[in-house]
C-alpha cells in the first residue's frame, strides 16, 4: 500500500461516496428514470418502489417508521423545515425556541430568521467542555416554549450532547425536541424512540452517500408532530415537502444508511483507536490542547489547538499533503476564529491555532502515521520562527504583555 496524496482528513465537511452507494444509484439515472409520483405506468411504479425501499433503509438505521421519513435536499433544508415549520404550526401555543451557541449555522441562522418573524430565541452558552448545562436549559423554559433545538454531535469538536436527558426535559415541559443529527447519524447509535426525539435532520453526504439529499424525521405518535411546509406544490412527502423526488439521491442515502447500520459499530472502534493514536502523538507537542469533552464525543473527531502557531499558517504548511480544516467548512471563508471554539471560552490565539481532524471510512493507519509526522514537524518549524514562542520559552507571561494597537 503506498500513500496517495493529498490525505483527506476533513470528513466532517463531506465524505467521499462509498462505491457500493454509487452502484445502487446508477440504474435510476438512465434506465429506471421514472418520477415516483407518476401513478399510471411502470416507470413511476419502479421509482416509487425504490423510494419506499430507501425509506425503510433510513428508518431501520434510526429506529422509526418509514412514514416518519421526509426526504429533503439536505440537512440545511431539513433544519429550516423543522424550525420554521414548528414555529408556524405551533404559533397558537407559543413563540419561544431554545437553542445553543455552538449549533451549526443552518440552525443558528434559521433561528435568527425566526426572530425576524417575531419569535423569541434563547441561545444557551455551553460549558468549557462544550456540553450544555441541563439545569440552565430547564431554567430557560417558559410557558411560551414550543421547541428545543440542540445538535446531537458537534461538527467542529465532536462533542455529543446528553440527548436523552434534553428530550426528557422538553417532554416534561410540553415542548418539542428537534436535533440536528448530521454528524452523529451513521457514526454512533442514534435511536429516535429510545432517545425521545421528535424531529431530527441529517444528510447523505456526511455518511458516504450523495450530496444534495437529506432527511427530516418527523414523529407521528406521542406526540404527533406536524410542520408547516416551506416548499409548496403537489403535496409530496405527506404534504410537508413538495417537489419531484430526487430518486437516485434517495436510493443513495438509503443504501448509505444500510451500510452504516451494518458496519457502524466495527467502524467506530477502528476509527476511535486511530483517532486516539493521532491525538496522543500530537499532544506530545508542548502547549497543545484537545478542545471539547473527550468522554462524550464522536469516535472519528479530534480538535486540537497548538499554542503560538497560527492555524492558517499551519494549514498552509502541509495543505498539499493533508486536507484539514480549522473551524468548520461553512464559516472558514471568513478569517474570524471559530465561533464554536470561542463559545468554549478559548481566546483568539488558541481558537486561531486549532485543527479539526475528521477521520473516515477510507482513512488508513499509514495516513495517520504520515499526518502525525507532518504536523509535528510543521508545528515545531513554525514555532522556531515565532517571536511569541521565544518569549514564552523565556518565561515571559504572555497575558501581561501590552500590545501596540495600530
Q: Which domains does the chain have, with CATH numbers?
A: 7-13+264-390 (3.90.1150.10), 19-259 (3.40.640.10)
Say how far apart CA 121 and CA 187 lie, in whole Å: 30
DSSP 281: H
How much of the chain, in percent, has pLDDT values that exceed 90? 89
pLDDT at 330 over 70: no
In order, the DSSP letters of 283-296 are: TTSTTEEE-S-SSS
Q: What is the pLDDT of residue 328?
A: 52
The active-site residue out of 64, 257, 260, 330 is 330
- Residue 2's pLDDT is 85
Continuous segment of H or E residues that includes residue 115: helix 105-116
pLDDT digit string, tens, across residues 33-73: 999 999 999 999 999 999 999 999 999 999 999 999 999 99
Over 80: is that where the pLDDT of 83 sits?
A: yes
Over range 259-280, report the average pLDDT: 98
330 catalytically annotated = yes
Nearby residues of 316 by Cβ (< 8 Å), 6 or more positions away: none
Q: What is the CA angle 241-246-252, rounded to 5?
A: 120
Return the C-alpha cell found at 353. Answer: 491555532
Instruction: Report angle CA 255, 238, 113 to the nearest 5 degrees.
Output: 90
Cell triple for residue 364? 488508513
| Whole-number Å distance between alpha carbons of 385 and 36 | 61
Beta bridge partners of 288: 306
Strands 354-358 and 322-323: unpaired
Cell of 34: 421514472
Mean pLDDT, range 98-127, rounded to an integer: 98
Residue 120 CA to residue 138 CA, distance in Å, equals: 16
Q: What is the pLDDT of residue 406?
A: 56
The whole-angstrom separation of Cα 205 and Cα 256 is: 9
The bridge status of strand 199-203 relative to strand 176-180 is parallel
Amino acid at each position: 500500500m503506498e500513500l496517495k496524496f493529498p490525505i483527506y482528513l476533513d470528513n466532517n465537511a463531506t465524505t467521499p461516496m462509498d462505491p457500493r452507494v454509487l452502484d445502487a444509484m446508477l440504474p435510476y439515472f438512465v434506465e429506471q428514470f421514472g418520477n415516483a409520483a407518476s401513478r399510471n405506468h411502470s416507470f413511476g411504479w419502479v421509482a416509487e418502489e425504490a423510494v419506499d425501499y430507501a425509506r425503510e433503509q433510513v428508518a431501520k438505521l434510526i429506529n422509526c417508521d418509514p412514514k416518519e421519513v421526509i426526504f429533503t435536499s439536505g440537512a440545511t433544508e431539513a433544519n429550516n423545515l423543522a424550525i420554521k415549520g414548528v414555529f408556524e404550526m405551533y404559533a397558537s401555543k407559543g413563540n419561544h425556541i431554545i437553542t445553543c451557541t455552538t449549533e451549526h449555522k443552518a440552525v443558528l441562522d434559521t433561528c435568527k430568521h425566526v426572530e425576524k418573524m417575531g419569535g423569541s430565541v434563547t441561545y444557551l452558552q455551553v460549558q468549557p467542555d462544550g456540553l450544555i448545562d441541563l439545569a440552565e436549559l430547564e431554567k430557560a423554559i417558559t410557558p411560551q416554549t414550543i421547541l428545543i433545538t440542540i445538535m446531537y454531535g458537534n461538527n467542529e469538536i465532536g462533542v455529543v450532547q446528553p440527548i436523552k436527558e434534553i428530550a426528557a426535559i422538553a417532554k416534561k415541559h410540553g415542548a418539542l425536541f428537534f436535533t440536528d443529527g448530521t454528524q452523529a447519524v451513521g457514526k454512533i447509535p442514534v435511536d429516535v424512540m429510545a432517545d425521545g426525539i421528535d424531529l431530527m435532520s441529517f444528510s447523505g453526504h456526511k455518511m458516504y452517500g450523495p450530496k444534495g439529499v437529506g432527511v427530516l424525521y418527523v414523529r407521528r405518535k406521542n406526540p404527533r408532530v406536524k410542520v408547516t411546509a416551506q416548499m409548496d406544490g403537489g403535496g409530496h412527502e405527506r404534504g410537508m415537502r413538495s417537489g419531484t423526488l430526487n430518486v437516485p439521491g434517495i436510493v443513495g442515502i438509503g443504501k448509505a444508511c444500510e451500510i452504516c447500520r451494518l458496519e457502524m459499530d466495527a467502524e467506530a472502534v477502528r476509527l476511535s483507536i486511530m483517532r486516539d493514536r493521532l491525538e496522543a502523538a500530537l499532544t506530545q507537542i508542548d502547549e497543545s490542547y484537545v478542545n471539547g469533552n473527550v468522554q462524550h464525543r464522536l469516535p472519528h473527531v479530534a480538535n486540537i489547538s497548538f499554542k503560538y502557531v497560527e492555524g492558517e499558517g499551519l494549514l498552509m504548511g502541509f495543505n498539499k499533503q493533508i486536507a484539514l480544516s480549522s473551524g468548520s467548512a461553512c464559516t472558514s471563508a471568513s478569517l474570524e476564529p471559530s465561533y464554536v471554539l470561542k463559545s468554549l471560552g478559548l481566546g483568539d490565539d488558541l481558537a486561531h491555532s486549532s485543527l479539526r481532524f475528521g477521520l473516515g471510512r477510507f482513512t488508513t493507519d499509514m495516513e495517520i502515521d504520515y499526518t502525525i509526522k507532518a504536523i509535528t514537524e510543521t508545528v515545531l518549524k513554525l514555532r522556531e520562527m515565532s517571536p511569541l514562542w521565544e518569549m514564552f520559552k523565556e518565561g515571559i507571561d504572555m497575558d501581561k504583555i501590552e500590545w501596540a494597537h495600530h
